[in-house]
Structure 1
C-alpha cells in the first residue's frame, strides 16, 4: 500500500489545503482509526470515486439534452411574440410557465462554458458561489427557475380550478395577482436560499443548494407549493368525476318518473339538465386546457422526483453514525485494494444514490423544455413560420393601385358635358360601370333583339335618344315622356321628338291621337293660362303613365 502525503492513495491530507476558499463543508474527509494517519480527504470531485467511469459521460449527455430544451423554449417564446395569437393561442400563464422552465434549463447549460474539472477550488475543496461566478449563476438559475416553474404551475392549476369548480373566469385582478406572486415569491425565496444556505458543486456539473438549512430555505417551501398544486388539481379532477357520475345516475329519475308526481319529475329534470350542462361546460374547458394539464402533471412529477432524490442525497452526507459505518466499510475496501474504486463500487452504492437514479432525475429535468414545446406549442406555428419566411424572402407583385373613374389632371379643362364613355376594350362591365349605368332593353323591328348599356347622364340623355330615331330601332323606354326645350329657338317637330307613348309599338296610345301638351299643341307655342296655370282640354286625363 503506497502513501501520498502521509495518507494512503488516493486520499490527500487535509493539512496541506487550508480553508482559504471554496465550500470547505463539502469536503469528504475522515480520520482513519488505524495508524498515525492525519485527517485524510478524497480528491475533488468525490463523486468520481463512488460511480463508474462512464458516469461523467452520462451526466454530460444530459447537458446536451438541456441545450435542446433551451432551444425549444426560446423557439416557443419567439413564436408567442412574433406569430398571431390565433395561430399560437398564447396565454400569459403559458408564456410565464415557459419562462420559468427556460430559467431552470439554463442552469444546466451554463456549465457547458466551463472547462472540465473546473468544479474544484483546490484538490479537495469544491467551488461555491463566492469562489466561482459560474457556480453562482447556475445555482441561481436552478433555485430561481425551479421556484418560478412551481409557482406558475400552481397558478395555472388554480386558474383551472376556478373555471371548472366555481365557474369563475379569471380576469384582470387574477392577472395582476398572478404576475405579482409568480415573480415576487421566487425572487424572495431565491434571496433567502442564497444568503442562508448557498450553492456549491455537489452533484453533476451544476451547483445545487447546500444541505445547510436547505430544507427550511428551499426544499420545504417549494414542496409545500407543489403539494398545494397537487391538492388543487386532485380536487378539480374529483369534481369532474363527481359531475360525470351524477349525470349518469340522474338520467334515469328524469325519464322513469313520468307516472309519478309531476313536481318530482320537474325537479329531477332540472337536476339532470344542470348536471349535463355542467358536464358539457367541463368538457369544453378540458378540451381547451388539456395541454396545460399535462404540462402541470409532468413538471410536478419532475420536481417531486428531483426533490426526493436530492433530499436522499443530503441524507447521505450527514455525519450520522450509520453513514460513518458505511464509509468505514468503503475505506477499508479502498485500503485493501490499493485505491482501486472499481473493486469497491458495491460498498460505494450503500453510501450514495445509485447512478441510474441520479441520471434519470437529471435527464427528466433536462427534458422539461421539450415537453413545453410539444404541449404548449401548437402544430399550426410551423406552417405559420414557413409562410412568414416565404413572405420575407419573396418579393410579391406591387399592390393594385386604385384609380378613380372620374380622375383627371388639374391641367385638363373642365367641361360640364364630360361623359365617361363605355370602355370598348372589355366585353364585361365592371361593378363600378353597373353602378353608374342603367340597362336599356331595346326591341328591334324584325327578328333582331339587342340590349346595350347607355350612360345615365341628364345633360345628354335626350340627345342620345334623338340620335336613335334614325337608326331604325324603336326603344321601349320605361320613363315618362321627355321633352327637350331649346331656349331661343323652336322646339323640334313632333315627328322627330321621341315619346314612349307614341313611338313605343306596345303602347296603347300608338297610332292614335298624340299626347296633349299645353306647350306644343297651343297655336302660338305658348301655354294657355287660366288663373296663372296651364289650361288643359276638358277630355285630357292627368295622371301617371302606366
Structure 2
C-alpha cells in the first residue's frame, strides 16, 4: 500500500485504532505509537506495542529477566547481612562496598515488584500507563532510577578512591568518606527528583517502567553515561600511571644491574643522587602494586557497568526515538509494516520481518532486560574495598608494609651511600 493510498483512507483498518476514539489525557499519551495518515486521520497500534513488533515469546523472555533479579536480590541481602553480622576483618566491610550493595538491592526490587503485581501495561487500548495512572509503575520506575544511578555513582566514587590512593597517596579518608556519602546519596536523589516530574516513567519495555519522552536523555540517560565514562577514564588514567611507574622501576633495576659496584662508584655525588632516585622509583612501584592488586575488583566492576550503561542507553534511545519519530510523519519502513498488518488482517507473525522499521530489535531489548536484572548481582562478585584506618593507612598490612627484600636492599644501599659521603668529607 503506497503513501498516496494511505492518504486516501478515511477509516483506520484493523488492527489500527483511530486516535479520536480515545481521550487526549490519561496515561502516557506521548508514548502512543500513532501515525498521521492525512490531515483528518491518525491511526495507532494497540497497546502494548511489544505485542505487535515482537514475536509471541517476548512475554516469557521478559518474565525470565524479572526472575533473574531474585538471585541478585538474595545475594545482595546475604552480602549486607554478612557486613552487619560478621567482624570487619572477615568481610573487608567498607562504606563504598556497603553503599554499592544497597544501591544494587534497590535496583533489584524494581524487577521483583512486577512478579507479584502482574502489571497492567495499558491505560486504554492505545495508551501505556505511566506513574500517574499506575502505582506499580511509579514504584518500579523510581526504584530503577535511584538504584541504577546509585550503582553508577558509587562505582565512580570507588574509581576516584582508587586513583587517589595510587596516584597521590591520599591520606585523608575521613574527609573523602563524607564527600562520597554526600554525592553517593545526593546525586541519585537529585536526578530522581529531576527526571520524574520532567520526563516521568512509563511502561515502554518490559514490566518495569523506564523514563519516557525525549527529555529523558537530558535528565537521566546522558548522566548515567557521563558518570560511567568518567569512571572508566579515571581508571584508564590510573592504569597508565601504574604502567609508567612499573616502567621506571624496571629501567632503574636494569641500570643498577649493569653498573659496576666498586668503592669509587660511590664517591661520585651525581651517581649517588641517581641511585637514590632509582631506589625511590622502585619503592613507589612496590606501594602502587600492592594497592593495585587490592583494587582489581573496582577496575573490573567499572568496565562492566560502563559497557552495560552505554548499551542500555542505546537501546532505550532507539525505542524512544522510534516512538517520537512516529509523531512527525509516515516513513517508508513504517508504511511497509502498516500495510503488511492491514493486508494480513492483523497477523503480526507475517509482518515481523518488517517491524525493524520501528527502531526496535527483540534480541537487543531482551538482552538489555536480562543484563539490567542480572546486573544486580555484579557487586556481590566484586564487593571488597580495602579498609583505611583513621590515620589514612590501609588496614591491610599489604599497603603499609614494603616487600622485605626491597626494604633490605634499600637499607644496604643507604649504608653504602652514607659511608661514601663520610669518606668523601674526610678526604676533603
TM-score bin (small chain): 0.7 to 0.9
Q: Deviations over 1:498-537 (max 9, x none)?
A: xxxxxxxxxxxxxxxxxxxxxxxxxxxxxxxxxxxxxxxx
1:97 CA drift (Å): 0.8
Q: Deviations over 1:448-468 (max 9, x none)?
A: xxxxxxxxxxxxxxxxxxxxx
Q: Which has the higher contact order (CA 8 A, sep 6+)?
A: 2
Q: Does 1:362 align with 2:369?
A: yes
Correspondence for 2:48: 45
SS at match of 1:350: helix
Correspondence for 1:372: 379
Correspondence for 1:285: 291
Q: Does 1:267 align with 2:259?
A: no
1:71 CA drift (Å): 1.1
Q: Deviations over 1:279-311 (max 9, x none)?
A: 211221122222233222222222222112212
Q: Does 1:305 align with 2:307?
A: no
More helix by share: 2
Q: Does 1:98 align with 2:104?
A: no
* Larger displacement relative to structure 2 (98-107 or 55-64): 98-107
Question: Residues 24-63 of structure 1: matches in 2 within 5 Å?
Answer: 24-32=29-37, 38-63=41-66
Correspondence for 1:442: none
* Larger displacement relative to structure 2 (37-46 or 156-165): 37-46
Point out the structure with max Rg over C-alpha: 1
C-alpha separation in 1, matches of 2:136 and 2:87: 37
1:377 CA drift (Å): 6.7
C-alpha separation in 2, matches of 1:6 and 1:29: 14
C-alpha separation in 2, matches of 1:288 and 1:255: 30
Q: Retained in 2: the 8 A contact 1:98–1:372? A: yes
> Structure 1-normalised TM-score?
0.65
1:264 CA drift (Å): 4.1
1:18 CA drift (Å): 1.2
Distance 1:303 1:161, change over 3 A: same
Q: Retained in 2: the 8 A contact 1:254–1:268? A: no
Which one of the candidate residues 180, 183, 186 is aligned to 1:184?
186
SS at match of 1:250: helix
Which one of the candidate residues 207, 214, 217 is aligned to 1:215?
217
C-alpha separation in 2, matches of 1:318 and 1:29: 10
SS at match of 1:32: strand
Correspondence for 2:341: 334
Correspondence for 1:255: 257
1:227 CA drift (Å): 1.9
Correspondence for 2:203: 201
> Structure 2-normalised TM-score?
0.82
Q: Deviations over 1:301-323 (max 9, x none)?
A: 22222112212222222227797
Q: Deviations over 1:244-280 (max 9, x none)?
A: 1221122222233437783343233223222221221
SS at match of 2:366: helix
SS at match of 1:104: helix
Correspondence for 1:346: 353
Q: Retained in 1: the 8 A contact 2:228–2:305? A: no
Structure 2: give runs of 5+ residues left out of the alignment: 1-9, 386-428
Structure 1: give runs of 5+ residues left out of the alignment: 379-546
C-alpha separation in 2, matches of 1:64 and 1:243: 46
* Larger displacement relative to structure 2 (340-349 or 7-16): 7-16
Q: Does 1:15 align with 2:58?
A: no
Which one of the candidate residues 239, 242, 245 is aligned to 1:243?
245
1:159 CA drift (Å): 0.5
Distance 1:368 1:169, change over 3 A: farther
Correspondence for 1:69: 72
1:350 CA drift (Å): 2.7
C-alpha separation in 2, matches of 1:240 and 1:192: 39
Correspondence for 2:410: none
Q: Retained in 2: the 8 A contact 1:254–1:265? A: no
